[in-house]
Amino acid sequence: MHYSEIMVRYGELSTKGKNRKDFIKQLGKNVRAVLHPFPNLEVKAQRDRLHVSLNDEDDEAVINALKGVFGIENFYPSIQVDKNMDAIKQTALQMVREQYREGATFKINTRRQDKHFDYNTNQINNILGDYVLTNVDGISVDVKHPDIAIRVEVRMNGAFLSSEKIQGAGGLPVGTGGRATMMLSGGIDSPVATYQAMKRGVKIDMIHFYSPPYTSEQALNKAKQLTSVLAKYSGNIQFIQVPFTEVQETIKEKVPEGYLMTIQRRMMLRIAAAITKNRHCTGVFTGEALGQVASQTLESMMAINDVTTMPVLRPLVSMDKTEIIKIAKNIGTYDLSILPFEDCCTIFTPPAPKTHPNLEKSRKFEGYIDVDGLMQRAMDGIKITDIKPGDEFMNQNEDVFAELL
């Protein structure tokens, strides 16, 4: 069955009162952006719902693209027919037949926008219901919990029928929640945290620290590849890579071993907060979850968070690893995340990092290094890449990749 349009229902945004217009406008923009590869279709974002006229574009591909767009509650692929009862009857019957399994129940649910149409909603429900009952053996009506639900909408420009409701991604349209940075490692957690931030409408810029020659080109490409996967949910993402070698080497040389990790993290966050401010973003997201590793105790978070007043947001803070992994698999980042290229944080990790670092000592030991100079040089070495959904960065590692997957 080839669909002629998709009727999209808004999620939470319908409750947002005066911001509603902005939300609808942003969602329209985001939907147009993901549907960019389909030049013939038309997107109309209206007050109550959004309509995508397919105009012969590949309906399945469009449906898949829409599933990733935040701000969509659900959507109904629909078939448009002329506004005459015969055409409507035929299409309704065809839809029921396609889904019919022995003993199934059905329901017709009609809405009428065109008040001049010859029949009212009750009459339409009855006519179509009778027609299906006479033509499909063994079927019966169940208005409460039907196996097959046919929606009929009589609008000014035609009658639209649908039988399938597809769950959307929920959340809020990306761009309505402001702009923030994300500290992206190559691990499992930070890509999931990125997804959660985007889901609340936040436009994300990625910050990734790398330490050549201790970290490989593959580790950097892996972070970029993860960004390319996440860009499917938000449109293009700016990927900011920050050289961290000098900072780490200096810390390793000057700071007592128990505080290596804490001071490294403080420097990371300082630099991330400075980049965030320069870019007029208003928060830093991380993939930290309480209790996962040494740096993720409350004391540790306090000792690290001390370097900035910028909001540090941790969408995964109270989630279990199993819950995080489940999301990572769903959003398509898990297989990349488990590729074993070393992150800059793991290479200088002491055998016994302090799980309960002391704030005063952290400040004192940080005084042993030239914080401002190191920060400045790291920021001077920044490179920015604009990453589009589907961009490929792992090609040169094809062999490694094939072996590992």
Binding residue numbers for ATP: 183-184, 208-209, 265, 287, 296
Region of 139 please: left (phi>0), alpha (psi -120 to 50) or beta.
beta
Smaller CB distance to ligand ATP: residue 79 or 180? 180
Helices (H), 296-358: 298-305, 321-331, 334-337, 344-347
Q: How far is the CB of 186 from Mg ion (least distance, A)?
A: 7
Instruction: Give the C-alpha distances (Å, rounded to integers) separating 221 from 30, 269, 335.
Output: 26, 22, 14
Q: Are strands 179-183 and 284-285 parallel, antiparallel or unpaired?
A: parallel
User: What's the CA gap between 67 and 107, in Å, rounded?
Assistant: 26
Q: How far is the CB of 342 from Mg ion (least distance, A)?
A: 10
Q: How far is the CB of 139 from Mg ion (least distance, A)?
A: 55
Query: Which strand (E) or helix (H) includes residue 94?
Result: helix 85-99
Smaller CB distance to ligand ATP: residue 180 or 207? 207
Which two tokens mark 270?
Answer: 């300082």
Q: Binding site residues, as ranges?
A: 183-184, 208-209, 265, 287, 296
**What is the DSSP secondary-structure string of 169-199?**
EESB-TTTT-EEEEE--SSSHHHHHHHHHHH
**Using rule CB under 5 A, residue 175 touches Mg ion:** no
Q: How far is the CB of 380 from ligand ATP (least distance, A)?
A: 18
Smaller CB distance to ligand ATP: residue 159 or 182? 182
Beta bridge partners of 205: 181
User: What's the CA gap between 87 and 70, in Å, rounded?
Assistant: 35
- Tell me which residues touch ligand ATP (CB under 6 A): 183-185, 187-190, 207-209, 286-288, 292-293, 295, 343-345
User: What's the CA gap between 69 and 367, in Å, rounded?
Assistant: 46
183 binds, among ligand ATP, Mg ion, none (CB under 5 to 8 A by kind): ligand ATP
**What is the number of the residue whose Cβ is closest to ligand ATP?**
187
The amino acid occupying position 119 is Y
Smaller CB distance to Mg ion: residue 89 or 265? 265
Binding mask 177-216 vs Mg ion (x if CB under 5 A, - otherwise)? --------x-x-----------------------------
7 binds, among Mg ion, ligand ATP, none (CB under 5 to 8 A by kind): none
The site that binds Mg ion (CB under 5 A) totals a number of residues, namely 2
Q: How far is the CB of 283 from ligand ATP (least distance, A)?
A: 13
Q: How far is the CB of 400 from ligand ATP (least distance, A)?
A: 19
**Residues at the site binding Mg ion, with contacts judged by CB under 5 A:** 185, 187
